[in-house]
């Protein structure tokens, strides 16, 4: 998908959400939650097949009586899907033992012709997906019907990569449903799934600390927000490998022009079989670096942040305390 088309798509999604929010506020409803409970008549009870070849009915087996997270993806995606899967994997880790018991996670393919149960299972293994999170396929018409009922179908989808990149959190029993983006901070999603959507708060949400004990907010550095929202699901700086390599020293270890292009169009570099790109792809379990649709300024900010953070981590390792840089209240 071209950059201009991607930008237009994001604008359409943003405008639609703003219009919906305004309409619901006029009705006195919370923007992210349905005003009335959606009953079983709303949800199709169509069959889906999980990664193990088991058939599940969408209403009876997937959502009925459960708190769920549902996203739509396809395994050959080189755009947003790998990042969304990585972000959800981070969410699964934070939810811990609650996944599969208090919260059920589902990823449904929009490319069922190619995404067979075996392909989905291999994809799960690539991303080291844990128990309680299932990947589902089925008939395209049934999956499209589910997407329409969940408000996740875009009528102007010309390519698979045009599918809605939001995902759904909900409690079928109470009728609470909301859309979130894969770029929401994990703590917010955990608070929603273990707190807001539960009958009573669970786990870390059961005891909330006072605002008086909130830590001082650090001043954001250029590129820091981008790194925290787009990169931390797969990378650290100085804390070891995750799905991708530790990025400590990456700015000095890589050719600058290569690094800038890798941040801008990794999918094309992999398609061209760039030797270094292919070596990283092979080493890290063939998890593709997603194309984050970064502008030139974003790339320069990210490089600046990774360089500065490398200096900070190395200084801390030597016992040199960094100078405080905090916002005054």
Instruction: Decide: helix, strand or coil at residue 69.
Output: strand
Q: For residue 123, count other CB atoms closer than 10 A to its CB.
A: 23
Q: Are residues 298 and 312 in the same domain?
A: yes
Residue 128 CB-half CA count within 13 A: 15
Would you say residue 301 lies in a domain? yes
Residue 191 has a pLDDT of: 92
Q: Who contacts 206 (Cβ-Cβ below 8 Å, separation ≥6)? A: 200
Question: Does residue 210 lie in a domain region?
Answer: no
User: What's the domain count of the chain?
Assistant: 3
By residue range, what is the domain housing residue 260? 224-317
- Which element (helix H / strand E) includes 103? none
Residues 124 and 38 in one domain: yes
18-22, 183-187, 221-225, range with the lowest pLDDT: 18-22
Which alpha helices (H) appear in the chain, and where do they start and end?
3-26, 81-95, 117-126, 140-149, 186-191, 224-226, 250-253, 256-264, 266-271, 275-283, 296-317
CA distance 140 to 108: 11
Nearest to 44 by CA among 58, 62, 63: 58
- Residue 213 counted as domain residue: no
What are 108-123's pLDDT values in tens digits? 999 999 999 999 999 9
> What's the mean pLDDT in 45-49?
97
pTM comes to: 0.71
Considering the domain architecture, whether residues 53 and 201 belong to the same structural domain is answered as yes
């Amino acid at each position: 998908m071209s950059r201009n088309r991607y930008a237009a798509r994001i604008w359409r999604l943003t405008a639609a959400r703003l219009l919906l929010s305004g309409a619901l506020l006029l009705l006195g409803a919370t923007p992210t939650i349905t005003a009335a409970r959606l009953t079983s008549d709303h949800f199709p009870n169509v069959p889906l097949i999980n990664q193990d070849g088991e058939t599940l009915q969408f209403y009876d087996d997937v959502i009925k009586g459960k708190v769920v997270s549902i996203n739509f993806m396809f395994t050959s995606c080189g755009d947003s899907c790998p990042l969304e899967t990585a972000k959800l994997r981070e969410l699964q880790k934070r939810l811990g033992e609650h996944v599969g018991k208090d919260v059920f996670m589902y990823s449904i393919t929009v490319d069922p012709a190619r995404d067979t149960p075996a392909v989905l299972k291999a994809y799960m293994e690539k991303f080291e997906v844990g128990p309680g999170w299932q990947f589902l396929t089925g008939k395209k018409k049934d999956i499209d019907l589910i997407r329409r009922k969940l408000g996740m179908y875009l009528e102007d989808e010309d390519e698979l990569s045009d599918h809605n990149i939001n995902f759904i959190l909900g409690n079928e029993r109470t009728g609470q449903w909301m859309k979130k983006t894969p770029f929401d901070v994990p703590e917010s999603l955990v608070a929603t799934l273990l707190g807001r959507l539960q009958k009573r708060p669970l786990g870390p949400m059961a005891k909330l600390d006072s605002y008086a004990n909130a830590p001082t907010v650090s001043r954001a550095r250029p590129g820091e927000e981008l790194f925290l929202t787009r990169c931390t699901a797969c990378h650290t700086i100085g804390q070891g490998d995750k799905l991708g390599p530790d990025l400590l020293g990456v700015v000095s270890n890589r050719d600058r022009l290569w690094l800038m292009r890798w941040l801008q169009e990794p999918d094309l570099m992999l398609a061209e079989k760039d030797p270094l790109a292919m070596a990283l792809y092979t080493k890290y379990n063939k998890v593709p670096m997603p194309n984050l649709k970064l502008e030139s300024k974003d790339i320069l900010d990210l490089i600046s942040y990774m360089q500065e953070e490398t200096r900070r981590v190395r200084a801390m390792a030597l016992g040199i305390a960094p100078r405080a840089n905090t916002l005054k209240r």
